[in-house]
Amino acid sequence: MKSLFGRAFAKIISQKTIPWIGGLKDIFVMVAFYMSIINFTLVAITAYNTGIRDWLIQHGLHWIKVYIWLGFMAIIALVAMLIEYKIVYPSFYAFRSRQEYKHESPFRKLQEEILKKQEEILKKQENIEKRLDELEGKGGRKDS
């Protein structure tokens, strides 16, 4: 018989699936990308107007207007995106794949089952081919 602690612990760690919660979170994550662009633009404009503009004027860079400042920010963002795409993204998925394989992923188990079944089918095929070859040798099968 399980202890009270064991039953409570099992109840606490048991998982529930509520599809609309997952869908709602997924939509929020998708929308967060667009919201972060708006947020980034507003923060860059605020930073420019509350201190960076004065610093630029003091250092003789009065020609850098807010639109040029936003252009610099866009270039920085594009470089970051390029680094993410070329280096971080592939590394992330390579790491994730190793972790999923190492920690008994359900997909790994399914893949191993499929490979076992495939090996069984190939062995049966070899046996069938051997039997056919034997039959051909005894004059039982003629192809031409």
pLDDT digits (tens, 9 = 90+) for 67-112: 999 999 999 999 999 999 999 999 998 998 888 778 777 888 888 8
The pLDDT confidence band at residue 1, using thresholds 50, 70 and 90, is: low
Residues 48 and 110 in one domain: no
In this prediction, residue 100 carries a pLDDT of: 79
Residues 77 and 112 in one domain: no
Residues 127 and 57 in one domain: no
Residue 14 has pLDDT above 90, yes or no: no
Global pTM exceeds 0.85: no
Residues 28 and 84 in one domain: yes
* DSSP-derived 3-state class of residue 121: helix
Residue 144 has pLDDT above 80, yes or no: no
Residues 11 and 76 in one domain: yes
Residues 22 and 58 in one domain: yes
Residues 30 and 95 in one domain: yes
Residue 67: give the domain boundaries.
Answer: 4-103
The pLDDT confidence band at residue 9, using thresholds 50, 70 and 90, is: confident
Residues 23 and 89 in one domain: yes
Section 114-138 average pLDDT: 92
**Number of structural domains, the chain?**
2
Residues 57 and 92 in one domain: yes
Residues 93 and 115 in one domain: no
